Amino acid sequence: MPQGEKASFESESPALVSVIVPAFNCEETIQETIQSVLSQSYRNLEVIIINDGSTDGTPDILKKIEDPRLRVIHQANKGLSATRNVGICQTKGGYVGFLDADDVWEPEKIESHVRLMEQHKETDLVYSWVTFVDADGKFSHEGAHVSYCGNVFEKLILSNFLICASNAILRRSLIEKVGCFDETLPCVEDWDYYFRCARRGAFGCVEKALVRYRISGNSLSSNVKMMRETGFLVLKRYSDEYGEDHPLIVQSRKNRETSMFNILFRNLNANRASIADIPLFIRYWWHSNYRRNFSLTAICTAKLFIYVVFPHAMSKPIWNVLRFPKKIIKLFKNQ
C-alpha cells in the first residue's frame, strides 16, 4: 500500500484498542512480545498478528497461544511496512498501537496512553520513554527521557525521540488522516510516519519507561549505513522548507551522525564490529557531536586500537581491564 494511501477499516468500536504485531522469523521473542500485550491492565483489546512468511518456528508458536482477543493472519513475505499496513486495514478499535515482534510493553502501557487521550481530547498520539535491552532481554541502557507535547514537528526534525515503532498508540482518526506506512523505505519508516502524524495531530507523553526495545545483530537497527542513508532521505522530505543551512537542519544531520556512531560503538562493545567498520567510525565521529570532546574521542581511539590489533577473543577482556570509568562510557549510550 503506497505512502499516505487512505486506509479502509472494519467497523469501529471506540473503546477497543487494536494492537498490530508484524512477525517474521521471530521464534525466540514472539511469545514474550504477545504475552506482554495479553497481560496489559487494559483488557479491551484485539491483537492482530501478521505472520509475514516466517520460515522458522514462529507459526507453530502462534498456534499454541490461545486467547479470544488474538487474531493471526498468515501471508507471503511482504516486508515490515507492508505487513503493518495489512494489520491497519484489519483493525476495529478506536485506538491503534504497533508492537514489533521482538519488543515488549510494560503492563500499564496501553491503559496510561488511553487515559491520557481520554482526558485530553486534543491529543492524537501518545508515546512513553524507552528502555533498550540486548538480544537476551537484559538491560542495555535508557533512551532519552524527553517529554515533547503538542506540535512536535521541529523536535522530530532534530531526532526521532520516540525511538521506535513500538512506542506510539494513536487515535484511529489520526491514522485515517495520515494513511499507511511507506513501503518503499527499507528502514526508519517509523520516523517518516511520525513526521506525517506530527503534521496532522498533537502528541502527548507518559513519563515512564513502558517499552523495552530490543537491539541485536539481526535487527534492522544494526544496519548502520542503510539507516544513515534512509534517515537523510526522510529528513530531506520534511525539511526542504527550512533549507540545508538552517540551524535546525544542520543540528539534525549532526544528531543523525551521532546516533549512527553510537550504534557502531555498541556493536563494538558486543564484538559485532569489524575492520571494515573503521572508515564509518571515523566518518560518523567527524560529523557527530563528539568531535570536540577529548574524553570521548580518547575512549573511541583506544577501543578501536584494541579491537583492531587483538583478536575478538582477546580484545574484550583487555578492554575490560583498561577501560575508562563507567560514568564516561555511559555518555555514549544515552542517545
Domain count, the chain: 2
Question: Does residue 93 sit within a domain?
Answer: yes
Element (H, E) at 43: none
From the list 288, 306, 141, the residue with the least C-alpha distance to 212 is 141
Cell numbers for 201: 495531530
Q: What is residue 14's predicted lDDT score, i.e. its pLDDT?
A: 46
Same domain, 197 and 254: no
Same domain, 39 and 163: yes
Question: Does residue 234 sit within a domain?
Answer: no
Same domain, 140 and 36: yes
pLDDT less than 50: residues of the chain? 9, 11-14, 220-221, 324-325, 327-329, 331, 335
Q: What is residue 298's predicted lDDT score, i.e. its pLDDT?
A: 75
Same domain, 202 and 274: no
Same domain, 245 and 180: no
Q: What is residue 268's predicted lDDT score, i.e. its pLDDT?
A: 65
Question: Does residue 1 sit within a domain?
Answer: no
Same domain, 80 and 161: yes
Note whether 206 and 127 are within 8 A (CB).
yes
- Amino acid in position 157: I
Same domain, 182 and 329: no
Strands 169-171 and 93-98: what pairing? antiparallel
Question: Does residue 225 sit within a domain?
Answer: no
Q: What is residue 134's predicted lDDT score, i.e. its pLDDT?
A: 87
Cell numbers for 163: 525511538
Same domain, 207 and 292: no
Sequence-separated (6 or more) residues with CB below 8 Å from residue 293? none
Strands 169-171 and 123-133: what pairing? antiparallel
Kindly state the DSSP code that residue 107 receives in the 8-state scheme: T
Element (H, E) at 163: none
Same domain, 263 and 121: no
Residue 25, helix vs strand vs coil = coil
Same domain, 92 and 204: yes
Question: Does residue 48 sit within a domain?
Answer: yes
Q: What is the rounded CA–CA span in Å between residue 163 and residue 263? A: 13
Q: What is the rounded CA–CA span in Å between residue 92 and residue 126? A: 19
Q: In CATH, what number is assigned to the domain containing residue 31?
A: 3.90.550.10
Sequence-separated (6 or more) residues with CB below 8 Å from residue 335? 144, 258, 259, 262
Q: What is residue 275's predicted lDDT score, i.e. its pLDDT?
A: 64
Q: What is the pTM of this model?
A: 0.84
Note whether 117 and 123 are within 8 A (CB).
yes
* Domain end among 220, 251, 268: 220
Same domain, 210 and 282: no
Kindly state the DSSP code that residue 288 receives in the 8-state scheme: S
* Domain end among 170, 188, 220: 220
Give the structural domain span for 165: 13-220
Q: Cα–Cα–Cα angle for 185, 188, 193, nearest 5°? A: 85
Q: What is residue 204's predicted lDDT score, i.e. its pLDDT?
A: 98
Question: Does residue 228 sit within a domain?
Answer: no
Q: What is residue 257's predicted lDDT score, i.e. its pLDDT?
A: 85
Q: How many CB atoms lie within 10 A of CB 238?
A: 17
Question: Does residue 6 sit within a domain?
Answer: no
Same domain, 19 and 76: yes
- The 10s digit of each residue's pLDDT in 224-253 is 888 989 999 999 999 988 999 999 999 999
Question: Does residue 51 sit within a domain?
Answer: yes
CB-facing half-sphere around the CA of 15: CA atoms within 13 A: 3
